[in-house]
A and B are shown apart, each in its own frame.
Chain A
Amino acid sequence: MRRLKRPDRVELLQGTLDLLVLRTLLFAPMHGHGIAKAIQRNSEDLLLVQHGSLYPALHRMVQKGWLDSRWQDAPKGRPMKFYRLTTAGRSQVATEQSKWEQVCRAIGLVLKRAEG
């Protein structure tokens, strides 16, 4: 007997978090909490960002010079640390994206062959 299952939340593939964060910041600077929510919302709640990996990722990208950060008042009046893309970060978006597309294509090819 098979039970129909509600589509569960998907674990993030390793290395994809950077791309998602960078994409999210492409439109406007955002704080950590906001970034997590935005990813969740834009993936129609499929992707849940572990906060435990979000902050190390953010700090790592600051260290790499892709992002910079600044304390700023959030719309609700509370000061939050906002992250913003640097020029290097902007060009990194394209790199990460093409990397991701390659991975997708590769996986697709493998799957197709397995089917056929």
Chain B
Amino acid sequence: MKRWVGQFRELWTRERREADLERELRSHLEAEVEEQLEAGTPPEEAHYTARRALGNVTLTQEDTRATWGWPTLEALIQDLRLGFRLLRRDRAFAVFSVLSLALGVGATSAVFSLFDAIVLRQLPVREPERLVVLSFTLPGQSPNSNLPYPHFERMRSEARTLDGLFAWTTVPRISVGFEGRTELAAAVGVTGEYHRALGLRPALGRLLTPEDDRSGHAAVAVISHGYWRRRFGGSASVLEHGITINQVPFMLVGVEPAGFRGVTVGSSVDVTFPIRARDLLSEHPASWDEPFATWIEVMGRLKAEVSVQEAERDLNLTFRRVNADAAQSVPTNSFAARVAREANLRLESGSTGGFSNLRHGYESWLRLLLAMLGVVLVLACLNVATLLLSRSETRRQEIATRLALGAGRWRIVRQLVTEAGLIAAFGGALGVVLAWWGSRTLLGLATPNSVPLPLDLGPSLSVIGFTAAVSGLSCLVVGVLPALRSTALGPGRATREIGSWKRRLVDRVLVGSQVALSMVLLVFAGLFVRSLQNLWKVDTGYDRSNVLMFSVDAHLAGKRGRDIPGTYRRLLDQLAGLPGARAASVSSVRPVTDSYYFISTVTSVGKKTLPDDRPLRIAFNNVSPGYFATLGILLVRGRDFDRRDDGNSPPVVIVSEKLARHFDGNAVGQRMRLGRNELREVVGVAKDSRYANIKNAPREVAYLPMFQARPEGMDYSPTFEVRFSGPLPELLDRVGEAVGQVEPQLTPFRVKTLEVQTQESLSRERLLALLASYFGGFALLLACIGLYGLMTDAVRQRTPELGLRMALGAPPSNIRWTVMRDSSLTVAIGALAGVLGSLAGVRLVESQLHGLDPANPLVLTAATALLLALASAAAYVPAHRAARIDPMTALRQE
């Protein structure tokens, strides 16, 4: 690099150096003249003698200039110029190469920029590399990033290795009232150290401090820069006004710096308030003192020179001490006691933020996509290399002449590589544009019908670096091989020899690998498509057509206590009476979304009491009467809930078939104990259905009556389901009116049909299948073009031979067959390698395939058939052309 800068400078200073040299030689001459004069030579003669002594000045100047060593850059410019001219002359080749590289580079970079934004990007805070994320692990279980509050408090006061420890809890939805208008927003409740430990400076006002985070302290909040601009027009006077959060007055004290969106990738925080203020928004105080309630996420900042391991040891001591104390209060063989005994704290780098659902859900998917598009890129490079190779065949004469005229081999190689570099540079530049557009489109396709994810997809340094590296590498791959090959032979042989066996082998390997790679992509595409079809056909246990779903949250309208279920009940009545609504219900957990779900334990089933440390882990949902009818879930036995199942009646439960199987005999009428002491009578058995996620196998589910459920059940925003007949838009209007009639402050959100929701839950799989199909097709096209080029060349090289055979009476079909046979070996070996490669590769994607054997014979057969068909078509054209060779013309070529 430094050398390059030097060369650039030298280009500018070249004239100055010329002048300098001239002056130096002149001074030399003058000195010589002077010496001659002193020696007594007559003046005139002295001048000539001096001149003679100095010799040929121009030659000296030229020789000297040559030592300055600047020609590289000028040669480069020369090469670039020549490259441009050649590409302009051969437009079809140039356009095709540039486009296929651009597609390869662009697609890979688009996915990489998503990968960067979701997985790699560091938080925009001070020294993010010193941040750590806390979680705890139990042997044999995946780590839990939610921690109990008492542990956090003790670690915060006792940690010696940290320069700040903070916790937060996400409040996905609040209603923010300002100047009489109420809108939904996303919030996070944070402990007092949050802003200081992150090292943030306010854009306006001040940020939160430990003094704010005390119970009974004034309700204050700060807002994000984006929300400030969006909702408050970026006005500085906003700090003088109060806002309401869920109808509770709050003071706005400051604005967070621009670019900061909270510590969780993929979720944008609008409002940040002290975690203690959470109690103002709910009638139940948070679990401040419960050592087994895991609900806060914790991050810390390491002191300088402290390693993650040291801090982990330090914090784990405190963590285990708190657990040891907590274990005193629970029975020794309970699950809680096991947690207390066996849990260990775990620290990980937090430079990219806390645990993110988005990252968790998309990381492996993005890696897969990246690998797939990497294959496409390699293929595009191979293809351009093949094209360059066959082009260099036609330039053989030119290169041979240049070699014969004494051009250095490296000089010619350099020129050819520069040409390839030009293609790669254009391809790369176009690829960046594609990537820019592509990453947004991809994100839109991956998360359809929802608010755009708050991701910073702007080109970061790593994305630009990635693209540059990818383009540079492809340039090398594409350029060096053809360049080396076309200059490998001496000038004499190069002019004569056309296409030796070895030479053609290289081409064949190149085309064969293209066939193999496209085969791999085709197989993958087939597998992903089959897997998606399987998922779509999965019997979810409910009827997904004609069900509208939406959520409301009475807390946001300022409701508390018994008002909340009351509001929901009234809304449910309204919905049931709507024209066009055939059935309506409300539930806590929405079908096919895993945005939240409830897990509990069952400690006794019928007469069996389960061992204390081996309870049955079940999922549960709170549902209203009519839920099963609305979703079309069959009740196999017993009855549905009805309006009498409320707080005053005996506790009841409906179980899924899978849970019912744990009972001896008919489950209906038997009892089960939920948690420690919640005894409920089974009144019905529902057909198994997919709980929360279509990809998970049916599990044990307990349905509790919504209006009999524990009060905590009302903490979450429930989903209303309406089975409708008739047009959807009209129903939507009526639903909106109904909500308004029940409570004007209530805003419906997440309004979706069950069908759309199901599609969305499969959007990743769909996108994978879609992209794999597109790029599989593209790969196949590239491979066919490569094959076509190869066979065209082969025919050209064999023209005299084929002509001779025709002259000796070979029928055209025979000639055609000869050429086809020639291509079929390359294709067959490529296809075989592709099949083997994909069989090896599918192990990596097994987890992404649903209800499908990775070595699916149908997919393999279909991919092979498609490949062979298109490859034959690509080879047939040159073969057909060969069969029409005029023997006389062919022989005359010899």
A4 to chain B, nearest CB (A): 27
Q: Map CB proximity to A onto B37-64 as digits: 1 under 8 Å, 0 otherwise.
A: 0000000000000000111100110011
Question: Are the C-beta atoms of B24 and A32 separated by less than 8 Å?
Answer: yes
User: A33-B32, A52-B56, A59-B68 known; A81 and B63 CB under 8 Å?
Assistant: no
A37 contact set on B, CB distance < 8 A: 35
Q: Quote the shortest CB–CB distance from A74 to chain B (angstroms).
A: 7
User: Quick one: CB contact mask for A25-50 with B, threshold 8 Å, 1 for yes?
Assistant: 00000011110010000000000001
Bound complex: CA of A52 vs CA of B55, how far in Å?
6
Contact (Cβ within 8 A) B54 A81: no
Cβ-based interface call for B677 (8 A): no
Contacting pair A55 B53 (CB below 8 A): no
Measured between alpha carbons, how far is A60 from B69 in the docked complex, in Å? Answer: 9
Chain B residue nearest to A56 in the complex (CB): B63
Q: Which residues of A contact B53 (CB under 8 A)?
A: 51
Give chain B interface residues in 62-76, CB to chain A under 8 Å.
63-64, 66-69
| Contact assessment for B27 and A31 in the assembled complex, using a CB-CB cutoff below 8 Å | yes
Please tell me if A87 contacts chain B, counting CB pairs below 8 Å: no
- Residues of B contacting A60 in the complex (Cβ-Cβ under 8 angstroms): 67
A56 with B55, Cβ < 8 A, contacts A32-B24, A51-B60, A81-B27 known: no
Confirm or deny: A78 has a beta carbon within 8 angstroms of a beta carbon on chain B. yes
Within 8 Å CB of A52, what residues of B? Answer: 54-56, 59-60, 63
B34 beta carbon closer than 8 Å to chain A: yes
Q: Within 8 Å CB of B30, what residues of A?
A: 78
A63 touching B55, Cβ below 8 Å: no
- The answer to whether B24 and A56 have CB atoms under 8 Å apart is no
Residues of A within 8 A of B54 (CB): 51-52
B27 contacts which of A50, A51, A59, A79 (Cβ < 8 Å)?
A: A79
A76 to B34, CA, bound (A): 10
Is B25 interfacial (CB 8 A cutoff)? Answer: yes
Contacts of A78 in B (CB 8 A): 27, 30-31
Q: Is A80 an interface residue (CB 8 A)?
A: yes
Interchain CA distance A114-B66 in the complex, whole Å: 41
- Taking the complex as formed, is B214 at the interface, i.e. its CB lies under 8 A from any CB of chain A? no
Give the complex CA separation of A81 and B29 in angstroms: 13
Interface size on A, residues (CB 8 A): 21
Q: A53 contacts which chain B residues (CB < 8 A)?
A: 63
Check A59/B28 contact, CB under 8 A, given A50-B55, A51-B54, A52-B56.
no
A55 and B68 form a contact (CB under 8 A): no
A55 CB contact (under 8 Å) in B32, B34, B63, B69: B63
A55–B59 alpha-carbon span in the complex (Å) = 11
Most B CB contacts (10 A, CB to CB) among A31, A37, A52, A58 go to A52
Task: List, in ascending order, chain A residues with CB within 8 A of B34's CB.
Answer: 76
- Are B31 and A56 neighbours in the complex by a CB distance under 8 Å? no
Minimum CB–CB distance from A29 to chain B (whole Å) comes to 14
Q: By the criterion CB–CB under 8 Å, are B28 and A51 in contact?
A: yes
Contact among B23, B56, B60 with A56 in the assembled complex (CB-CB below 8 Å):
B60
- If A55-B63, A74-B31, A80-B31 touch, whether A63 touches B24 (CB-CB below 8 Å) is no
Specify the chain B residue showing the minimal Cβ separation from A61. B67
Chain A residues, CB < 8 A from B68: 59, 63
Decide: B25 and A55 in contact? CB cutoff 8 A: yes
On chain B, the residues within 8 Å of A51 by CB distance are: 28, 53-55, 60
Which residues on B sit within 8 Å (CB–CB) of A33? 27-28, 31-32
User: Cβ of A63 and Cβ of B67 under 8 Å apart?
Assistant: yes
Contacts of A31 in B (CB 8 A): 27-28, 31
- C-alpha spacing A74/B35, complex, angstroms: 14
Bound complex: CA A34 to CA B69 (Å) = 26
CB contacts (< 8 Å) of A59 on chain B: these are 21, 64, 67-68
Residue of B nearest to A57 (CB): B67
Nearest CB in chain A: distance from B56 CB, A: 6
Q: B59 contacts A32, CB within 8 Å?
A: no
A76 to B37, CA, bound (A): 14
> Which residues of chain B come closer than 8 Å to A81, judged between CB atoms?
20, 23-24, 27
Minimum Cβ distance to chain A for residue B25 (Å): 7
CA distance A33 to B20 in the complex (A): 15
Q: Which of B361-417 contact A (CB under 8 A)?
A: none
**Whole-angstrom distance between the alpha carbons of A78 and B24 in the complex?**
11
CB distance from B35 to the nearest CB of A (A): 8
Which residues does chain B contribute within 8 Å of A56, judged by CB atoms?
60, 63-64, 66-67
B23 neighbours in A (Cβ, 8 Å): 81
- Chain A residues with CB under 8 A of B21: 55, 59
CB distance from B771 to the nearest CB of A (A): 54
**28 A-B residue contacts at CB 8 Å?**
A31-B27, A31-B31, A32-B24, A33-B27, A33-B28, A50-B55, A51-B53, A51-B60, A52-B54, A52-B55, A52-B60, A52-B63, A53-B63, A55-B24, A55-B25, A55-B64, A56-B66, A56-B67, A58-B64, A59-B67, A60-B67, A63-B67, A63-B69, A76-B31, A76-B34, A78-B27, A78-B31, A81-B24
12 more A-B residue pairs beyond the given contacts A51-B55, A60-B67, A74-B31, with a C-beta to C-beta distance below 8 A? A31-B28, A51-B53, A52-B54, A52-B55, A55-B24, A55-B64, A56-B63, A58-B64, A76-B34, A78-B27, A80-B27, A81-B20
Residues of B whose CB lies within 8 Å of any CB of A are 20-21, 23-25, 27-28, 30-32, 34-35, 53-56, 59-60, 63-64, 66-69
Task: Enumerate chain A interface residues (CB-CB to B < 8 A).
Answer: 31-34, 37, 50-53, 55-56, 58-60, 63, 74, 76, 78-81
